[in-house]
Amino acid sequence: MKIVDVLSPDRTHCNAPGVSKKRVLEFIADFFSEHTDFIDANHLYQELISRERLGSTGIGEGIAVPHCRLSGCPRITGILLKLDSPVDFDAIDGEPIDLIFALVVPDEQNDEHLETLSAIAELLQCGAVRQQLRNCSNSDKLYQIATGAQ
């Protein structure tokens, strides 16, 4: 699985509003809804909140990977956000987050879901990549760095 398989330039956003965890999850749901034809923002928001209740998707180093399964979702779909200011996301290291890679996954794609999460973690484990993403000033550059299309 490659990042380019789940991410597109129109689902990449630099300087998204970072106010609170709740507002970020609302933004994610709205952004997904605006850039896909199969996601209802309210339903997605509720699913993301439900997933967060199981445990924070803040994985440390200023990164969160909110994700959920969604019936009617035809394929694994992601968005990448760089927040305009870090927010508390109850991350495992206690640090605020400013980089988010959110995923919506079809109910039946268990193995693919894990492969995608692994690819995202591998990408974002690299400190140099995180720094390049944080230094981006526009969405196109953010997409290029995330997908290796530089």
As annotated, the active-site residues are 67
* DSSP E strand stretches across 5-147: 12-16, 58-60, 63-64, 67-69, 77-87, 97-105
Rounded CA separation 86/64 (Å): 11
Q: Are 58 and 92 in contact (CB under 8 A)?
A: yes
Rounded CA separation 32/74 (Å): 14
Rounded CA separation 3/93 (Å): 25
> Comparing C-alpha atoms, which of 22, 35, 135, 17 is closest to residue 86?
17
